[in-house]
Structure 1
Amino acid sequence: MNILTQPYSLATTLSCSNCKQEYNITEINSYATCCNKPLVVDYDLLSAPPKSALALTEHTMWRYSVLLPVLSKENIVSLGEGMTPIHHLNKMAREYGFDKLLMKDESFNPTGSFKARGISMAVSKAKELGITKCIVPTAGNAGGALAAYCAKAGIKCTVVMPSLTPAVFKQECELYGADLVLVDGLINDCAKKASEINNDNTYFDISTLKEPYRIEGKKTMGYEIAEQLNWQLPDVIIYPAGGGTGLIGIWKAFKEMKEMGWITCPLPRMIAVQSKNCAPILHALNDIENWKTMFTPMATVANGLAVPYPFGMDMMLRVLKESGGTAIAISEADIVSGVKEISKTEGLLISPEGAATWKALLQLRQQKIIASHETVLMLNTGSGYKYIDNLN
C-alpha cells in the first residue's frame, strides 16, 4: 500500500479474547458479553507499512497510529505520552555480574506513569465515540491520568479510589477537576462502587480490561522497546503486573511486529512480578481452578500491584505460557530496599513497582531461571516521587 494514501488506522474490528466473536469497533463496547472476557482490537496487518515509514512520524506513542484503534487523527487526546527512555544500568550490572541490564522508564510520561498511554488511548476513543462521562476504579496512577486526559478532552471524570491511597494521588485527581470517591478497601471494592455509580450505564467504564483500548495504548511500550533497541529484543522482560494491561499489551505488540515482519528475532520470556501481599498471578499459575481462595489480599507499598482478582487473568497466563516465562512475588521489605538501592546506585527514583522487578531479577538468577549473560529489560512503571509517603 502507498504510504501517502494509507488510512490513519488499520483497525478493523473488536474480538473476544476467548472465542474470537467479533464486535463493531465503531460502536461503544466494553467487554465481550459472549464469554465475559476482555475484548481486543484486530488490525489488517497485511496492509501495514514498512517500519521505515516511522521516520516520517511524530516522536510520541502516536507514531504507531496506523496500528492503533483511533480512526481519525482529530480525535486524539494527547499530552505528549510515549517514547520514554531506556536506561542502561551499567553500575548495577557490573556490581552484580550481569552482562546487560536495561530499564524502560515510564516515569517520563505525562502524569508520571505508564497509565498515560492507556488512558490517552481510551479517552481518545471515548471522544471518537461521542462519550461525555468516564469513570475508573484505581489504586492510584490511573485516576490521575484519567482526570488529566478527561480535562484535556472536556469529558466529565469520576475516580473511585481506596481511602488509604497516598494523598498525592487524591490531590492530583482533584486538581484536574475529577469527582473523587473514596472507598474503604482495595481496588476490587472500588470496582463495586464504580458499578453502583454507573448503574444507569451513563459512564464509559475505563476499568482495567473492561474496555478494549487501554491495552492498545500500553502495547506501544512493546513497539518502542523494539525500535529503541534497533529492532532487536532482550532475552527477558520483567514486568510489575497488577491488572495486566501492560504485560498483555507488550506481548501483543511483539506478535504483531512478528506478523508484519518488523522483527525477526526471538521473542523474550515475559516475567510477571507481584508483591507477596497480593500475588494472584503466581497462585493462578500454580492452580488455575482454586487461585481465588488461596490468598488473602493485603495492601502493598506498590499500589499498582494491589489487584487481587484481575479480569484479564486468562490473558496474562497465556502470555507467560506462550513466552516461556513465569511469575514471582517479592516481599514488601525487598521492594522498599530496591527503591533505595536503585536510587543510590543509578540516580533513578523509581516506583516501588519498578523496584520489584530488580529484586525479582536477583531471585530469578539465584533460581537459575535467568542467566547473567542474558540481556534483561525491566519496566519501571512510574515516578518514585509519588510514593515518598509510602516509603516512609
Structure 2
Amino acid sequence: MPITNDYVLSCSNCRQQYPKNQLQTFCTQCGSSPIVVKYSLEITSSAQVIEPAERSMWRYSKILPLANPQNRISLGEGWTPILPLSNLARRLSLENLLLKDESFNPTGSFKARGLSMAVSKAKELGVETCIVPTAGNAGGALSAYCAKGQMQAIVVMPSHTPVAFQKECLAFGAALILVDGLIHDCARKVAAIKQEINCFDISTMKEPYRLEGKKTLGYEIAEQLNWELPDVVLYPAGGGTGLIGIWKAFQEMKQMGWVKNIPTKMIAIQAENCQPLVATVNGWQESAASYEGSATIANGLAVPRPFAERMMLKVLAQSNGDVLGISETEIAENLKEMAKVEGLLVAPEGAALLAGLKRLLKLNKIEKHHKVLLLNTGSAYKYLDNFSF
C-alpha cells in the first residue's frame, strides 16, 4: 500500500532527483523546470487509502507528502460539492453537465488546496516566512494558512486587483505589496525581496507541493462520481497547477487500479486578453517565454508566462484535449447567465468555461451524451467591482 513518505522528488523534465528532507524550489539542471512528487504506488483498494471520516482533502493524506500529521495546517479545505447544472444542460441539450464548485473552500477558492499543502510542508521544513506573487486568490489563501500556522506571509499583488482581495490579505495579517503590472511583474518584485530577507517563495509550480494539494481535485472528482471519470473537464488555466494536478491524480489512480481507463479530455480555457497557451498551440510563438498579455476581469487568468507551460501542453496532448481563449464580453455575459439560470455566482474564471463549452458544442467537439464537468475555481463575490449588473 502507498504510504506518505514513500516518494521521491524529481524534475518533471530531466528526472534529476532532489532530497525530500530539504526545501526545494525548481530544477536548475535543465533550465528551470518544476520539481514533482513521484510515489511508489502499487495496486491497492481505495478503501485502504482513503480516510472516510475526514471530510476534507486530507482524506487522501496517505498519498500526500506530509511526513508528520502534526504539521498539517488545515482550515477544512476540499471535499467540495459536484453540482448538476440541470437548467443549463436543458438549454444546451446536454445529458450530463456538472460543476465542481470550489467556492466552498476556505477564502472562497481552489487556492486553499495547494496552499494548505505547501504551507504545511514549508512549516515541516522549518520555514517561518512565505512569499507569493498572486493575481488575487493565492494571496488570500497564503495569508490565511500562514495565520493558522503562525507564520509570516508576504503577498505581492497587481495594483489593479479588486480591493476585496487586498483587504483579505491584510485581515489575515499579511504584508501586502502592490505592483503596477501583471503577475510576472510581481514575480520580479518577489525575486528582489528574496535577496533582502529570508523568505520562501511559494509561487505556482516553483516548489513541489502546491501541485500535491491541487491534485486532490482529481481524487475527489473520481470518488464523487463513483470512480467513473468525466468525458470532458473544462478548466480555467492561468498557472495551470489544477490542470496538471487533476491529470496527475487520474494517472495515480489508474496506477493503483482505482480507475480502469482515463477517457477524459482536458480542455484549458484562457482569456483572450492573456492566452499564452492558445498562442503556443496555434504556432503563433515557440513558447510563452516572451508572451505579453494584458489584464482581464478574470484576474486569475492573467498569467502571461506560465512556469509550467511544458507540463500543461503535455496534459493537453496526452488527453487529446484543447485550449480556447474567451473574450471579456463573453466572460461577463456568461457569469450573469450562470447566476440567473443556475443561481450560482461563480468566479469569472469559472464563467469563462461556460462560454468555452458553448463554442466547443458549436464546433462539434463535445457530444450531447458526454459527461461534462466544469471546474469553478471560486466565488465571484471578491470580483464584484469588476462587473455591473
Asked if Structure 1 and Structure 2 have the same fold, meaning a TM-score greater than 0.5 normalized by the shorter chain, the answer is yes
TM-score normalised to the size of structure 2? 0.96
Residue 363 of structure 2 is aligned to residue 381 of structure 1: no
The answer on whether the counterparts of 2:289 and 2:305 sit within 8 Å (CA) in structure 1 is: no
Sequence identity (%):
56
- In structure 2, the residue matched to 1:15 is 10
Task: Please show how residues 173-252 of structure 1 align to structure 2 within 5 Å.
Answer: 173-200=169-196, 202-252=198-248
The answer on whether the counterparts of 2:44 and 2:257 sit within 8 Å (CA) in structure 1 is: no
Look up the equivalent residue of 1:286 and give its one-letter code.
N
- In structure 1, the residue matched to 2:127 is 131
Which portions of structure 1, spanning 4 or more consecutive aligned residues, are displaced by more than 6 angstroms?
Answer: none
Residue 354 of structure 2 is aligned to residue 358 of structure 1: yes
CA displacement at 1:202 relative to structure 2:
1.7
Deviations 1:262-284 (A, max 9, x none): 11133300000000000001111
Q: Runs of 5+ in structure 2 lacking a partner?
A: none
The answer on whether the counterparts of 1:136 and 1:143 sit within 8 Å (CA) in structure 2 is: yes
Residue 36 of structure 2 is aligned to residue 30 of structure 1: no
Task: Please show how residues 163-174 of structure 1 align to structure 2 within 5 Å.
Answer: 163-174=159-170
The answer on whether the counterparts of 2:250 and 2:262 sit within 8 Å (CA) in structure 1 is: no
Residue 336 of structure 2 is aligned to residue 344 of structure 1: no
CA displacement at 1:34 relative to structure 2:
1.1
The answer on whether the counterparts of 2:137 and 2:165 sit within 8 Å (CA) in structure 1 is: yes
The answer on whether the counterparts of 2:51 and 2:60 sit within 8 Å (CA) in structure 1 is: no
Partners in 2 of 1:154 and 1:55 — Cα distance?
Answer: 27
- Which has the larger displacement, 280-289 or 356-365? 280-289
Partners in 2 of 1:148 and 1:215 — Cα distance?
Answer: 18
Look up the equivalent residue of 1:377 and give its one-letter code.
L
Within the candidate set 276, 279, 295, 1:280 is matched to 276
The answer on whether the counterparts of 2:288 and 2:309 sit within 8 Å (CA) in structure 1 is: no
Deviations 1:13-64 (A, max 9, x none): 1100001111111111001121210000011212x75202325441110010
- In structure 1, the residue matched to 2:152 is 156
Look up the equivalent residue of 2:265 and give its one-letter code.
R
Residue 82 of structure 2 is aligned to residue 105 of structure 1: no
Partners in 2 of 1:274 and 1:241 — Cα distance?
Answer: 6
- In structure 2, the residue matched to 1:89 is 85
- Tell me: CA distance 1:56–1:341, structure 2 relative to 1, closer, same or farther (3 Å): closer
TM-score normalised to the size of structure 1? 0.96
Alignment RMSD: 1.5
Partners in 1 of 2:97 and 2:190 — Cα distance?
Answer: 40
- Tell me: CA distance 1:19–1:184, structure 2 relative to 1, closer, same or farther (3 Å): same
Q: Runs of 5+ in structure 1 lacking a partner?
A: none
Residue 121 of structure 2 is aligned to residue 120 of structure 1: no
- In structure 2, the residue matched to 1:304 is 300
The aligned length equals 386
Partners in 1 of 2:15 and 2:178 — Cα distance?
Answer: 37
CA displacement at 1:290 relative to structure 2:
3.0
The answer on whether the counterparts of 1:14 and 1:25 sit within 8 Å (CA) in structure 2 is: yes
Look up the equivalent residue of 1:23 and give its one-letter code.
Y
CA displacement at 1:286 relative to structure 2:
2.0
Deviations 1:329-352 (A, max 9, x none): 000000001110010011101000
CA displacement at 1:72 relative to structure 2:
1.1
